[in-house]
Structure formats: C-alpha cells, structure tokens
C-alpha cells in the first residue's frame, strides 16, 4: 500500500497563515494568540527524530518540544517543495515546485529548483500562487526575510519570498541579531522569516550524526535562547523545519543504470535521490508503459514505494494537482522505504555521491518536523 498524507494534520502549509491571523487578531489553525510581531525561524534539515536524539545539545529547543509540537513537512521532503509550501500556504500540486529537480516540459529539460533558474524559467510564473507575504500586505502586515547574502536575489528566492523585504546576515547569530533589531523597530504589525541552512549543509557533508552537525545544533540552540529572552510580551516565535534527515552511506547507493532495462523508455530522471521522478519517452504506448512500470515494481518494490503519476495523485502525495503542474510530476515515482538513495551513474557527479545526509521520501525521520512555540506563542 502507498503512504497517504493525513489531511487533518497540521503541516508547514498552516504555519505562516496562522501567524498572519495572529497578527490580525483572527482565529487560526495553530491556535496562536494575538501578537504584534511574529517570527518564523526555519531550520533546514532539523527533523524531530534528530532533535530528540541530540536533546542534550539543544536544551532550549527540546524544552519546547511536546507531544503537540510535531507536524508534517509535506511531500516530497525536499527544501524547494517544503519552503514553497511554507511561504504560500499550499501544497506542491498547487505551487508547482514538486521536487529538488523537476521537468520543464516546455524546454524538454530537467531543472534544479534551487539553483537552476535562468532566463527561460520565470520565478513569478513557475511558482504559481501568491506568497503569504504578498497576500498579507493587504491586511496591513509587512514582511521581512532574513538569510545569507547569496540567496538575496536567487531565482528560488524570487519564487518563494516575493513580497518580503530581504535582509542579509552571515551567521546564525548575525541573523538573529538582525531579527532582534527588526523586532525593536517601530511600525505596523510584522511577519519575520529567518532561514538557517547550516544544519542541512552539515548533514549533507558529514551526516546528521556527525560532530559537525551537533556543533551547528548547539550554536542554533544558544542563538535561539538569547533571542527568545529578548522577546516582548507581544512577540511570538515559531521554530520549525522543512524536513528531517537520514544518513545514507555510499555503499547503500543504488545505481539505476546498472540494469539497463529499468531505463529503457525513460527520457528524464528527476526528483531526489530518495524520491526519483521518472519521465517516460512520449512515444511509448500504453503497453510499453505498463511493462516499464512492472519492471520497476519487480526490481524495487521491496525497498521503495513505486507509484505511477495517477496513483500518486490519487493518494494525495502532492495535494490537489493543478493541470499546469501535472506534467512536472514523474510518470513513475520511486520513493525509498529502506535506508538507500538512488543515483543514475551516467550523470551523477562524484560530488553528488559524497552526500551523506539525505531526504525526500516518506520515513518519519524525514517527514516529522518540530513546531516549537516560544515567546507569546508559548502562552
């Protein structure tokens, strides 16, 4: 059986709309009380399982981790899709960022959703919906995003952060210092988004179980402790994440090109190493498509969920899927169940295959993320 998201559970899509409602004094899905300033601190790669496993290194964060402070990140558990869900309040089937890489059918190519933007891909139309930053402006809420300088004007930022003023700051402490300065500034009700990529980067390079990852977690915890101590009675803080992590050793890499029959009829390989999205040659007839799907089921169903596009849509993997978004989804999805990652040895770079920390699929280590309430939101 295919996994199916529980539509009644709180997810990343609920976070920013609830914060805006708290700023305007309205009821909201998270039950947040009214505030004048709301901060959402997004820690890339901080899953609940990882946080609990390193609880002794993050006492401020784990003190706020209760039975009701766990939410779903959404699927696929990859940064491009999850951050777009956070900042738009809708699922990938609507906003259109459906994986780490995705098919640009107009130009018959696979594009990297984080770094592959060019003059043939317009962030304003590829990401299809208004951001919460844009829609809340009409309610008198001003929005600011704080992150590293290198993300200020990226195509991805233009897709998911439009409507927010961008402030660059180098380190975790620098970003929260800038956040503190903004919180103390006069003005209308405000929504602040702070992005922390350091834990995700450490996990990719060394694994989340590495000393390097734990060091970044300790730095984050200290910065949050200092920042939260300076919050006023009318300031609320949410700490959450886009996905969790699993460490995949290189010997657990599955090279899909080692069996040529699995790629006979596949035109493009997109998605993530833990959630492939395979696009078939357009001239394959129904019988050939069925045969290719069956080959994958026989070869990989023991360690992955194998779903056709229609099956994934019916199971609600991407939420309601807009007609314009449907071609971006693979004809066949291969989502890892075991502790493995899939690579096409013909195209995967050596650097890509050195990545230890992985995400993209359905394990609870990847899908369950914290929703930590501090300041006014903790009361």
Is CATH 3.40.720.10 the right assignment for the domain spanning 12-95+119-246+361-378? yes
Report H helices in the chain: 15-23, 48-53, 59-63, 79-88, 92-95, 123-126, 132-137, 155-160, 172-184, 198-206, 211-229, 286-300, 309-314, 364-367
- Cα separation of 81 and 93, whole Å? 10
pLDDT reported for residue 275: 98
- Cα separation of 315 and 103, whole Å? 21
pLDDT reported for residue 6: 86
Enter the pTM of the model: 0.98
pLDDT reported for residue 354: 95
**Segments of the chain scoring below 50 in pLDDT:** none
Report H helices in 76-152: 79-88, 92-95, 123-126, 132-137
Q: Are strands 368-375 and 357-358 parallel, antiparallel or unpaired?
A: unpaired
Percentage, residues of the chain above pLDDT 70? 100
| 175 three-class SS | helix
Contacts of 261 (CB under 8 A, 6+ apart): 295
| 52 three-class SS | helix
Write out the H or E segment, with its range, that includes residue 112.
strand 109-112
- DSSP summary character for residue 100: S
Residue 202 structure tokens: 């450490």
Q: How many helices (H) and strands (E) does the chain have?
A: 14, 17
The pLDDT tens digits for 217-275 are 999 999 999 999 999 999 999 999 999 999 999 999 999 999 999 999 999 999 999 99
pLDDT reported for residue 188: 87
Domain with CATH 3.40.720.10 in the chain: 12-95+119-246+361-378
- 175 neighbors 196 (Cβ within 8 angstroms): yes
- DSSP summary character for residue 32: P
Residue 338 structure tokens: 């075991």
Q: How many CB atoms lie within 10 A of CB 19?
A: 28
Residue 115 structure tokens: 């770094």
- 154 neighbors 145 (Cβ within 8 angstroms): no
pLDDT reported for residue 350: 80
In CATH terms, the fold of domain 250-358 is Gyrase A; domain 2 (3.30.1360)
The pLDDT tens digits for 36-81 are 999 999 999 999 999 999 999 999 999 999 988 999 999 999 999 9
- Cα separation of 313 and 5, whole Å? 11
Domain with CATH 3.30.1360.180 in the chain: 250-358
> For residue 107, what are the CA distances in angstroms to 78, 249, 289?
23, 35, 23
């Amino acid at each position: 059986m295919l996994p199916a998201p529980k539509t009644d559970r709180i997810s990343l899509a609920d976070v920013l709309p609830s914060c805006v409602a708290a700023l305007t004094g309205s009821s909201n899905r998270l039950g947040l009380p009214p505030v004048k300033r709301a901060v959402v601190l997004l820690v890339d790669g901080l899953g609940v399982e990882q946080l609990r496993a390193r609880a002794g290194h993050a006492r401020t964060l784990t003190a706020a981790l209760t039975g009701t402070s766990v939410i779903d990140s959404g699927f696929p558990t990859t940064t491009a899709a999850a951050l777009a869900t956070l900042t738009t309040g809708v699922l990938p089937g609507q906003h259109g960022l459906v994986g780490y890489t995705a098919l640009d059918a107009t130009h018959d190519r696979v594009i990297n959703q984080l770094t592959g933007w060019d003059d043939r891909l317009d962030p304003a139309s590829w990401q299809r919906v208004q951001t919460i930053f844009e829609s809340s402006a009409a309610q008198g809420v001003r929005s600011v995003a704080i992150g590293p300088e290198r993300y200020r004007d990226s195509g991805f930022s233009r897709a998911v952060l439009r409507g927010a003023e961008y402030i660059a700051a180098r380190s975790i402490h620098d970003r929260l210092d800038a956040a503190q300065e903004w919180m103390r500034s006069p003005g209308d009700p405000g929504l602040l988004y702070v992005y922390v990529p350091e834990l995700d980067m450490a996990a990719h390079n060394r694994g989340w179980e590495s000393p390097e990852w734990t060091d970044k977690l300790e730095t984050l915890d200290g910065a949050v402790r200092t920042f939260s101590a300076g919050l006023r009675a009318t300031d609320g803080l949410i700490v959450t994440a886009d996905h969790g992590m699993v460490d995949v050793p290189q010997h657990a890499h599955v090279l899909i090109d080692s069996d040529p029959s699995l790629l006979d009829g596949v035109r493009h390989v997109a998605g993530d190493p833990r959630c492939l999205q395979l696009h078939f040659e357009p001239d394959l007839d129904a019988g050939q498509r069925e045969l290719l799907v069956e080959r994958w089921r026989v070869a990989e169903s023991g360690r992955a969920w194998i779903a056709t596009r229609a099956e994934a849509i019916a199971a609600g993997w991407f939420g309601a899927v807009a007609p314009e978004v449907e071609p971006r989804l693979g004809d066949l999805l291969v989502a890892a169940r075991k502790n493995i990652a899939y690579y096409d040895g013909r195209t995967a770079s050596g650097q890509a295959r050195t990545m230890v920390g992985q995400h993209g699929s359905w394990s609870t280590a990847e899908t369950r993320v914290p929703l930590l309430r501090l300041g006014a939101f903790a009361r």
